């Protein structure tokens, strides 16, 4: 594992912001964003000067990693959180934001519409996939034991997650694995056990998305760091 351990979450966020800016400077144009509490301050930072002004000069497509099937106004909406942070001052003219249209009739329709918009936009591959990790080892809406883990013929899919009693829509495993870079953000002592499991070879969703000969950087704070 390519672990980058930081003393504080603030240090982690600043390092992640610098990495994203550097990758954009090197040509990254399609960036996938996860929800959750850890990336929220990162999006706030990227949505303010100087990062906002710098990123606004490049044609970036921001893609949401997954979504709870709730209205965008709902506090649980990942897209809603991103709009209030990264796009607090509006979406820059050169940028696009591809989200799941939860205002459609059902999760399957939202996934189908997302897949079509991905095709129309001509997206071939993610340059960066910014990922989180639950204390059960899930990432995006790829939860242990759910059938969406076996889908490899679509960009995104709908999935009912019994653990949270909710429908979700998510990028599929192969899309995340095919990204040029995966940045996993994990903070807090509750993430230490699952990080240790990943390090020990457990077949958790986050491991299935990140292991192998693919570039993955783990940004973690000291509290989450597994034992050496």
Tell me the pLDDT tens digit for each residue of 29-74: 999 999 988 899 999 999 999 999 999 999 999 999 999 999 999 9
Q: Is residue 228 part of a domain?
A: no
Q: What is the CA radius of gyration of the chain?
A: 16
pLDDT at position 64: 98
Asked if residue 29 is part of any domain, the answer here is: yes
Work out how many domains the chain is built from and give that number. 1
Quote the pLDDT of residue 228. Answer: 63
Residue 71's pLDDT is 94
Please report the pLDDT score of residue 225 as a whole number. Answer: 86
pLDDT score, position 187: 93
For residue 21, give its domain range.
Answer: 3-223
pLDDT of residue 49: 96
* CATH number for position 178: 3.40.50.1360
* Inside any domain, residue 67: yes
Is 187 a member of any domain? yes
Q: pTM of the predicted model, to two decimals?
A: 0.95
Please indicate, yes or no, if residue 131 is contained in any of the structural domains: yes
- Is 24 within the bounds of a domain? yes
Evaluate whether residue 48 is within a structural domain: yes
Ranges of the chain with pLDDT below 50:
none
The region, left, alpha or beta by phi > 0 then psi within -120 to 50, assigned to residue 199 is alpha
């Amino acid at each position: 594992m390519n672990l980058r351990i930081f003393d504080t979450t603030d240090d982690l966020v600043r390092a992640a912001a610098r990495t994203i800016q550097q990758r954009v400077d090197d040509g990254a144009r399609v960036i996938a964003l996860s929800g959750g509490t850890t990336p929220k301050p990162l999006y706030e930072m990227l949505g303010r000067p100087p990062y906002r002004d710098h990123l606004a000069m490049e044609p970036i497509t921001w893609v949401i990693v997954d979504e709870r099937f709730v209205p965008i106004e709902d506090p649980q909406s990942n897209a809603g959180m991103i709009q209030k942070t990264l796009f607090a001052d509006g979406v820059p003219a050169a940028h696009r934001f591809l989200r799941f249209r939860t205002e459609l009739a059902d999760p399957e329709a939202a996934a189908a519409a997302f897949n079509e918009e991905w095709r129309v936009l001509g997206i071939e591959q993610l340059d960066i996939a910014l990922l989180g990790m639950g204390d059960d080892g899930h990432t995006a809406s790829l939860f242990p034991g759910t059938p969406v883990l076996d889908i490899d013929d679509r960009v995104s899919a709908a999935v009912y997650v019994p653990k949270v009693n909710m429908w979700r829509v998510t990028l599929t495993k192969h899309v995340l694995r095919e990204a040029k870079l995966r940045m996993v953000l994990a903070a807090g002592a509750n993430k230490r056990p699952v990080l240790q499991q990943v390090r020990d070879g457990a077949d958790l969703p986050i491991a299935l998305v990140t292991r192998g000969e693919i570039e993955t950087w783990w940004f973690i704070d000291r509290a989450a760091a597994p034992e050496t």
